[in-house]
Amino acid sequence: MVTKMRAVEWPTLSLAIAVYGGWIAVTAYAALLPVPLLVLLGGWFLGWHGSLQHETIHGHPTRWHRVNDLIGGVPLSLWLPYGVYRRTHMAHHRSPHPTHPLHDPESRYVMGGGLATGIAKLRATLVGQMLIGPVAAIALFIAGEAGRAFRDPSRFAREWGVHLLGVALVLAWLHAVGLPIVTYVLCFVLPGQAASLLRGFAEHRADAAGTSRAATITSRGPLALLFLNNNLHAAHHASPATPWYRLPALERSRAQRIEPRYAGYRDVLRRFAFRPHDVVRHPDLADG
């Protein structure tokens, strides 16, 4: 499918308005909401914002990258610099060996033993991923960035400098509406990260067919909206520039469907709730 880029993609721009408007409303009235509803709404809007960022990284909703970056770059998650996400995600798409930890920065496979392997084994089941994955993912990312501060200080300073300015604005808003930072982390940030980890749980396998090693999860319900159809991950890798609202049509038009396929997230839950989705050590790595 050939996608002609419009000057402005109104479905995605409307989505951005809904994401930020919803986030503003929920944070402003958080004190009036029962905790379970706050967790549900907070996780939804943070997860939705992550999906929006994925769209802006891929050149939506305008043909002007700086405008897209302004739309997607607000750090609602607090912990993930947009510049780092953009750089590593585009490297993931360019990787000649997707899923390999030496070539793919988004690989979930580990190189060796130790604590990282133990954590990866706990996260290999869907239940484990949902329980410990949000905290583990953030902690591992921060630890990795701390090491990068010494290896690549200039780029680290640029990416984190811009990020921290945005974080200051988010924190100023939270202070203005009287939402404690601990409540925000527990009811927005961690549930939002859990949503992102649910989407990514079965996206890739090293032994999957196809050059992208990507899977397809044929959800058409609320989760497809939350993930902006990125559950059709093989289709996304086949045409990364295709906007989210055209991915279902692209998926239907694909001639070859050789990738792993799941009949929605209930199917993923049924298969992998307590059974590992995959090994944690990449099969191409030598033993020892």
Establish if 282 belongs to a structural domain. Answer: no
Residue numbers of the domain that contains 95 = 10-272
Establish if 283 belongs to a structural domain. Answer: no
Establish if 288 belongs to a structural domain. Answer: no
Establish if 118 belongs to a structural domain. Answer: yes
pLDDT tens for each residue of 92-145: 999 999 999 999 999 999 987 788 899 999 999 999 999 999 999 999 999 999
Establish if 78 belongs to a structural domain. Answer: yes
Mean pLDDT for the stretch of residues 148-154 = 96
pLDDT tens for each residue of 51-106: 999 999 999 999 999 999 999 999 999 999 999 999 999 999 999 999 999 999 99
DSSP labels for the chain? -PPPPPSB-HHHHHHHHHHHHHHHHHHHTGGGS-HHHHHHHHHHHHHHHHHHHHHHHTT-SBS-HHHHHHHH---TTSSS-HHHHHHHHHHHHH-SSTT-TTT-TT---BSSSSHHHHHHHHTTSHHHHHHHHHHHHHHHHHHHHHHHHHHSHHHHHHHHHHHHHHHHHHHHHHHHHT--HHHHIIIIIHHHHHHHHHHHTTSB-TT-SSTT-B-EE---SHHHHHTTTTTSHHHHHH-TTS-GGGHHHHHHH-S---S-EESSHHHHHHHHSSS-SS-SB-TTSPP-
How many domains are there within the chain? 1
